[in-house]
Chains A and B, each alone.
Chain A
Amino acid sequence: MMAYNLPYLAVVALVIIGLYALLFRRNLIKMVIGITLIESGVNLFLITLGFRKDSVAPIYTGAPSSKSVMSLPVPQALTLTSIVIGVAVLALMLTLVIHLYRHYGTLDSGKIGGEK
């Protein structure tokens, strides 16, 4: 059972590194990178849930042989949606970082909250 769950460890590693970057790093860009790491970790988890052993992509063009097993289509559709959400959130956060840099002149989250 241990050998089968190795891909999930990659998910755990990505989410933990992302959380580490978010909690401990002060630079705004590094926090945004941390959130993107968590995003890709959760997407990877969603995709690995939908895999079947030696299966083919669920596409009928080019007549796959009738006995080939197909991987699950629903997690792939969910991951498509959550990737585009990741892009949207990333674009918004970077726009705010541009404004914060232009207004406070620094990317250090410690010095940004003050009354300026």
Chain B
Amino acid sequence: MALHLAILAVLASLASALAPIPFHRSHRLLKGLAFLLLAISGIAAVTGGFLALFAEKPAELLLPVGLPWLHCHLRLDPLAGFFLAIIGLITLVVSLYGPTYVREYQGGPQPLLVLTLFTGLFVGGMYLLVLAADAFSFMASWEIMSVSSYFLVAFQHQHAKNRAAAFLYLLMAQVGGLCILLAYGVLAAFGDGFTFAAMASAQLDSSWSTIAFLLAFVGFGMKAGVVPLHVWLPQAHPVAPSHISALMSGVMLKVAVYGFIRFTYFLLGDILWQWGVLTLFIGSASALLGVLYALMQHDLKRLLAYHSVENIGIIYMGLGLSMIFAGSALPGLATLGLIAALYHCLNHAVFKSLLFLGAGAIIHQSHEHDLEQMGGLIRRMPVTAVCFLVGCISISALPPFNGFVSEWLTFQAALQGSALQGGVLSSLIPLAAAVLALTGALAAACFVKVYGIAFLGLPRSRHARKARIPQPAMLTAQGILAALCLVLGILPTWTVGVLNRIARDLLGHGLPEATAHGWLWLTPMDPRQASYGAPLTLLGIGLACLLAYLLLHPRKQTPIRTGAAWDCGFGPLSPRMQYTATAFSMPLRRVFRPVWSVSEGLEDTGTGRAYRLKIGDWAWLKVYQPLGALLLAAARRVTLIQGGNIRAYLAYSFFTLLFLLWVIV
């Protein structure tokens, strides 16, 4: 049943890609059909995913497509079900949001059909990916996902910036895909076959399994966007249409994490703790650098994209901890790390999509990407403002919203480091936790900046002044996600209970204690060690607020007197006197200066002089650019062999002949 629903989801998403083709003349019909089918696929996926989470045993199916001796194997186990549900959920929300949002592109230079076509393929590829149970169908759906999202990134290709971003994206996707392919190749070589079942039973020695792991790490890391493989992400996510950014950032990165988990836990099996150290290290670096780079951005979507790097880092930290414990024969603690990571996957999917949808609403209304041009939007679009605030609180890992719970679980996992034998490891792990704390605090700083600059204060541009309330469908979509942020934040016990099933499936071990004390208390290991009463937190805050309000608010309703804000006696305030996003992050820029390649100075604008600040990404400047230059230099060298002289050409073949003759004799 679950698998049938999942297949229905795949088919519906493919139908949403293809069915509207005959109707592409009518925007209304096109949008209606495409997004309706997409919504159906979302519902089917969520339902199917849930059923799979609670199913007794995984459902399997063999489809007669693919390579002749390797038909397409589908398998839906709890892990796949969980990610299927995530994809479905966000797809569903996006299909609510989409019809209104894409109105912007109607009558634009690009036909809407392209957008709906590739959205359908993109979503379908992701569904298929989590269902795939052999390397070929996995890789095929992986690449379908990459390519169709490439077309979505390149959708507004009239801008050179978008084309460059799309190119970089596809190139890195290609490289990553090849690495994954190789990783599967290693497994298949040992396991005699490309089905996951055959690969999982492969017996590898530790050096080969490490090679396979590293390949998978690079391959999936490239898509997930861990530092230093993240450079495509802040370029590609901002230029895609916002609902696509939500899908890419909220879901596609998760799919990469899914692949990583599937590969490491399910296919490789015997995890070495060294892998965990690597994952933890890269995760910490991604989390910290991601947030630091995000802090310096003032393009809203670019900022959010860097936050994706951060959150993927946090997920990887959880996974790294889990792998360290799994490699040290502590399955119970490994479960804790894994559950933290999975929980954060879900949370990030929800709040990052929410934020991207919010950003989309802002862009839809004000046509501004730049934070420095926004301001005061809370008055123009209050519902979006509330939902966005929820997203900001969630992503900053503040209680009682969902982001906090998963980070808390990650902290708990990190604190169990003392259970390890090695002193070095058990002192390094708390350091990772300190990095996580720093990351969380910086994220909060960053979102104070985002919210404060974009929604609060005074409008900084004409566009921001003219923004209006978005259409109800868009607001509903945001509202659903905001509500989910709260629900996932205050009902962690229930969620962890569900995630337990995945952990039991993968590691053979759950967290029985976590949910043993009722739905009020989340106690990952033991109530005496740590506990978190999320519903009570909400209740406490609510009660305190209510009491304070009731006690302090005057009984008589008199209108509150307002006056001008204090201007130090220099005359009326203007929006230009407000703190800017750049100014807001200045102290941190000074503190962490070496992290970025900063170039600042004054430049003549013609009418006067203006402050100019350029923040460069070291990974881009020191790794990717030289690599590109090297490639071009090599290409330039190689062109010498095609010099135009026929005698030289003949000499090549002559000497090749002599060389080969010499070789054989």
Q: Do A and B interact with each other, yes or no?
A: no
Using CB atoms and an 8 Å cutoff, list the residues of chain A in contact with chain B: none
